[in-house]
Amino acid sequence: MDTLIILFTLLAGITLSAQSSIHGTFSRKAGTIETTFLTMLTGLVFLTIIIIFFGQGDVLGILTAPVWQLSAAFLGTAFLLLSVIAVPRIGVVATNVAIISGQLVSSIIIDHFGWFNSLVITLDWKRLVAMLFMIIAVYFIYQGNKRSNTEENLDFQ
């Protein structure tokens, strides 16, 4: 079962990269906020259908959840909007590596302090070095994208 979950997670990563690229292109035609709105609206329709036919939870449980837990919906929307803004400007790879780096940094902090009822896993030098390498990777990927873009623009002149 764990192997299947890992494969699904890899598929999620593949779809995230494709979505980022498509959103970046689509936002040039429809607008950044409009692209994000269309994605959220489509998600609402599909998830409503899925809930109707396969839902096993309590939709009204939303009304009893603490406000801080409801912030996850805002954070998901902000994530999508920020990635739609970033892709056309810095590229898919730089955007996704920056996203992963941000996830790692915030995850390490969340683990270290045990926020949101997570396990407490203290920050050690190995995690710190891994985080540093990810941030360095973002820098080099962005610089490579910038250089390639500059060279491309020189070819057209």
Mean pLDDT by 10 residues, the chain (157 residues): 84 86 89 92 94 89 88 90 89 87 88 89 91 88 78 57
What's the pLDDT score for residue 153? 60
Range of the domain at 73: 2-156
What's the pLDDT score for residue 155? 55
Q: At what angle do helices 2-30 and 67-90 cross, to 10 degrees?
A: 60
Please name the residues in contact with 86: beta carbons below 8 A apart, sequence gap of 6 or more.
24, 94, 95, 98
Residue linked to tokens 């070095």 = 129
What's the pLDDT score for residue 53? 93
User: Total domain count for the chain?
Assistant: 1
What's the pLDDT score for residue 135? 87
Q: At what angle do helices 92-113 and 67-90 cross, to 10 degrees?
A: 150
